[in-house]
Amino acid sequence: MDQLISTDHLVKIYKLGDYEIQALRGINLSIEKGEFVAIMGPSGSGKSTLMHILGCLDRPTKGNYFLEGKDISSLDRNSLAGIRNQKIGFVFQSFNLLSRTTALENVELPLLYNSDYSKEKTEKAKKALSLVGLEGRENHYPNKLSGGQQQRVAIARALVNDPAIILADEPTGNLDSITSMEVMEIFQSLNNNGITIILITHEKDIAAYAKRNITFRDGKIVKDEIIPVPKKAKDELLSLPPVENEEEI
């Protein structure tokens, strides 16, 4: 498999007045295309910082970050924005949808900032929404959708530009267990179609759906293990009584 992400001794230091906080203390990480990685660790362990750097929202203090073989640790703000637009899809804990903007327009958002702005953006956005099972809800506003549905809109938004990676920061943090399962089912099926997913969570249950688990502590990787047989969200959902699977609001 092709190497998608590789980092070389990533260090991130935050300065708070006279204090220096080392959020990352030399991370060497390599992720290949098609992987499904869960990054775990207590809060303050540096996992969010890593995600910001991997997601090109932030730059490392030291070290290098190669995305698809290209060193992007020293690119400027605009180039990073372009990479975020083309290569990376974000899914956040709090969904981060634009309120008073329809599901379809939310999904179209990354396409607005495409350099080769396509005329078929509505088609693309509709396709992404149907991939997450939301066809027919294109014109719903976020406040008329359930949490699970909002997160699915966010996933569709992350998907719409055919990114190389989806970065999900605690995507199930605001969802109940069944809805979490549904979201994980979407991630698993996307991963089966070849999309690389990096998921940050502090729940072991959620990490169990991933193929590889990395554990962080104090800015360092303390454990990196391959899960030979991940849990299958689809099977678990099927084993549930059908009534509880209702998710209509």
- Give the interface with another protein as residue ranges (CB under 8 A): 52, 55, 57-58, 77-78, 81-82, 84-86, 90, 92, 96-98, 100-101, 109-110, 112-114, 117, 157, 161
Closer residue to another protein in complex, CB, 96/146 = 96
Minimal distance, residue 62 CB to another protein, in Å: 19
Of 15 and 77, nearer to another protein (C-beta) is 77
Q: Minimum distance from CB of 120 to another protein (Å)?
A: 14
Q: How far is the CB of 100 from another protein (least distance, A)?
A: 6
How far lies 56's CA from each of 46, 51, 132, 202, 207, in Å?
15, 8, 25, 22, 23
Nearest to 115 by CA among 145, 139, 85: 85
Distance CA 126, CA 105 (A): 10
The distance of closest approach from Cβ of residue 11 to another protein in the complex, given in angstroms and rounded to an integer, is 17
Burial class, 11, CB count within 10 angstroms (exposed 0-12 / middle 13-18 / buried 19+): middle
Q: Nearer Cβ to another protein, position 91 or 181?
A: 91
Smallest gap from residue 218 Cβ to another protein (A): 21
Q: Indicate the residue among 28 and 118 with the shorter CB distance to another protein.
A: 118
Report the 10 Å Cβ neighbour count for 230.
19
Specify the residue, 40 or 56, whose C-beta has the smaller distance to another protein: 56
The distance of closest approach from Cβ of residue 88 to another protein in the complex, given in angstroms and rounded to an integer, is 8
- The b/e string for 45-58 (b: 16+ C-beta within 10 A; e otherwise) is bbbbbbbbbbbbeb
Q: Do you know the residue count of the chain?
A: 249
Q: Which residue, 19 or 117, has its beta carbon nearer to another protein? A: 117
CA distances from 13 to 4, 26, 66, 71 (A): 25, 11, 19, 20
Alpha-carbon span 159 to 171, nearest angstrom: 15
SS3 10: strand
Pick the closer one to another protein by CB: 33 or 52. 52
Min dist CB 156 to another protein, Å, is 12
* Residue 32 burial (CB count, 10 A): 14
